[in-house]
Amino acid sequence: MKDNSISFVPFPTIQTERLTLRRLEMKDASNVYFLRTDAQVNKYIKRPLTADLEAAKEFINKINKGIDDTETIYWPITISEQDEMIGAISLWHFSEDKKIAEVGYDLKPKFQGRGYMSEALRAVINYGFEKLYFDVITAYTHKDNRPSIKLLSNHGFSLNEGEVDSDNENNIIFELKKKP
C-alpha cells in the first residue's frame, strides 16, 4: 500500500562536502554485487550473499520499487566528482505511523576510515528528521562490529538495551531521538 504522507518524488539527491547520495541505477550493479558478496563488508551482516550480477540487478529493481512505493529510501554513496558507488546508506523499516525508521549502511573496505560514512550518516540523519519528520532513527549492528558502534556513538545514537533483534541474536540496537 502506498503511503502519501511521505514521497520520494522527485528523488532526494543529497549533496555533502565530498559526497553525492543519489538514486540507485543499473550502472551500479557491479558495485551492488561487490557490497553484497565481499567477505569484509558482510562479516557482521546476516543476509544471503547475492548470487551473481543478474541478482544484483534484481536487487536494484526491488529497491527502486520500494522507493516508488515509499517503503524505503536508499542512496548509493559516491564521491562527488567521480559518481562511482563506494557504499550505500538507507532508511527503511518505517513504523506504521512513519515516526520511526531504521538506518542501514555499508562501504567498500578501501574507502573505510576516511570519514565518508560519517559524512553520509550525518546527512541522512538530518534528512530523516528534517524532511521526513521521523522522531526516532534506529540502527542494528553486530555486537562485535566496533567501527559501526563507534560511528553510531559519534553521531549521538545510544544503545537501547531493552530491545532485542529477533532475527539476529548477535545484533545490538541503537537509537537516536530527534532533539526537541
Give the percent of the chain with pLDDT over 70. 98
Which amino acid would we find at residue 177?
A: K
- Identify the architecture of domain 14-177 in CATH: 3-Layer(aba) Sandwich (3.40)
The tens digit of pLDDT for each residue in 91-143 reads 999 999 999 999 999 999 999 999 999 999 999 999 999 999 999 999 999 99
Q: Are 128 and 136 in contact (CB under 8 A)?
A: no
What pLDDT is stored for residue 172 in this prediction? 97
Strands, DSSP E only, in the chain? 14-15, 19-21, 73-79, 85-92, 100-107, 136-142, 158-159, 171-177
The tens digit of pLDDT for each residue in 35-82 reads 999 999 999 999 999 999 999 999 999 999 999 999 999 999 999 999
Residue extents of the structural domains in the chain: 14-177
Q: At what angle do helices 146-154 and 116-130 cross, to 10 degrees?
A: 50
What pLDDT is stored for residue 144 in this prediction? 97
Q: pTM score, two decimals?
A: 0.95
What pLDDT is stored for residue 154 in this prediction? 98
What pLDDT is stored for residue 5 in this prediction? 73
What pLDDT is stored for residue 136 in this prediction? 98
The tens digit of pLDDT for each residue in 152-167 reads 999 999 999 988 999 9
